[in-house]
Amino acid sequence: MSSHAFRFAIQSYAAGSAREWRDRARKAEDLGYSTLHLADHYIGPGPALASTNHPVQSVAAIPAMAFAAAATSTLRIGCRVLCVDYHHPVVLAKELATLDLLSEGRIEAGLGAGWMASEYDAMGIPFDRAGARIERLAAVVDLLRDSWAEGELKFEQAGIVASGFEAVPKPVQPAGPPVLLGGGSPKVLRLAGAKADIVSLNFDNSSGQIGAAGVGSGTADQTAEKIGWIREGAGDRFDDLELEIGAYFTAVTDDPGPLLDRYSGAFGIPADDLARHPHVLIGDAGALVDELERRRAAYGISYVTVPDTAVEAFAPVVAALTGR
């Protein structure tokens, strides 16, 4: 189904020190991973974060992306995803263009509409209805692309205004950093199909917390439905899209049964279904290679992000599918 070659990324939320973060980026590069992703969350431990079941992100995305880019030479740097409500759009366009310039064209621009209502509340940011947030996301994509092109900006859309100046610097990548959009709902995935270069398949986290409902929204059947929504938005550009997914539950093991049983009990999904769950990669390296090839054929997913805790154990899978 997909003509895209496999790419693999790691996602990281924490860095204990500058040396640890530098070493993590260099290890990912040395082991053949394509990309290092961060996320975009700001609040630390406390009741606001605890209510979401989300891990603590100890560093801010933009400066950590810059540091990782400076420590490496071929690794691409991205974010799954920058919440557009946390960043002024004109400032964000300049920051991403600057990162692309200084990294010599290694930035991926992951953007999202936001979903953690308790984080918005904790930071005093209004949490608008989903439709308004997705409309704003679409406008930010348009502003970024206009900013990265030549000419004076004359932009007004969804309350975002930029006019009377040309945005500088221009990115190194000719059309600007590839834009990654994703989520788990029909509206955002249709938007991603229409506007993104990379579409990220995710859980439906409309509840505002990570849990069984979200994991249940990412099963094989649900993923096939999501591909349909992307296709509806993309039309005849669907084959040009790169499809990415987060394998949040990744373990390379010769005995997957106990771990699958544990997750089965936690999420109420049969262990056999979890073994084929597109966000789960649990098994020995050979089995995971076969499963990823099956998923690419079935769904078109060729870009897979795994947790940084699996970076070394998963490296043989990366090598087998990329030749690196």
* Averaged pLDDT in 10-residue chunks for the chain of 324 residues: 88 89 97 97 96 93 97 97 98 98 98 96 97 98 98 98 98 97 95 98 86 91 97 98 97 97 95 96 98 97 97 98 90
| Residue written as token pair 């991205």 | 78
- pLDDT of res. 65: 97
| Residue written as token pair 């199909």 | 193
Specify the pTM.
Answer: 0.96
What's the distance, CA 36 to chain centroid?
10
Which residues fall within 8 angstroms of residue 146, CB to CB, at 6 or more apart?
A: 153, 155, 162, 167
- pLDDT of res. 211: 86
Delimit the domains of the chain by residue range: 7-322
| Domain 7-322, CATH number (from 1.25.40.340, 2.40.50.140, 3.20.20.30, 3.20.20.10) | 3.20.20.30
